[in-house]
C-alpha cells in the first residue's frame, strides 16, 4: 500500500449543474488497488466535500494525480476511505 501526504480534492460534477470542488491539503493517505482500474484511498480525519460528491482527485507529493468517479466510501470522525475508478499506474508500483 502506497502512503503519502496529498491534496485530496472532492468534487460534485452533476450534469446540468456547475461543478463544485473542495481541496483538502496535507491529508495523510494510503492508496491501494482493489481491481484493475479501481483504487481505494484511506485517509485520517474527515474530508471537506460538497454535497452529493461524485469525483475525487488525489494529488501526491510527487505531482502525480489520481482522478476518477467515486464508487464507494465511508467517513467517520477518525478517518475513512473512498474507492474510485482511475486509469493511472497502480500505486503499489510507485
Q: What is the pLDDT of residues 25-82, one digit of tens each?
A: 999 999 999 999 999 999 999 999 999 999 999 999 999 999 999 999 999 999 999 9
The model's pTM: 0.94
| Residue 94 confidence (pLDDT) above 90 | no
CA–CA gap between residue 59 and residue 56 (Å, rounded): 10
**What b/e string do you get for 28-66 counting C-beta neighbours within 10 Å, with b at 16 or more?**
ebebebeeeeebbbbbeeebebeeebebbbbbbeeeeeb
Could you tell me the domains of the chain? 2-89 (2.40.10)
Amino acid at each position: 500500500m502506497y502512503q503519502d501526504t496529498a491534496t485530496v480534492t472532492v468534487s460534485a460534477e452533476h450534469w446540468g449543474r456547475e461543478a463544485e470542488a473542495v481541496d483538502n491539503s496535507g491529508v495523510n493517505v494510503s492508496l491501494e488497488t482493489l481491481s484493475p482500474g479501481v483504487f481505494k484511498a484511506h485517509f485520517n480525519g474527515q474530508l471537506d466535500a460538497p454535497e452529493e460528491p461524485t469525483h475525487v482527485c488525489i494529488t501526491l507529493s510527487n505531482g502525480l494525480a489520481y482522478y476518477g468517479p467515486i464508487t464507494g466510501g465511508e467517513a467517520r470522525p477518525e478517518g475513512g476511505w473512498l474507492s474510485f475508478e482511475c486509469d493511472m499506474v497502480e500505486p503499489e508500483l510507485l
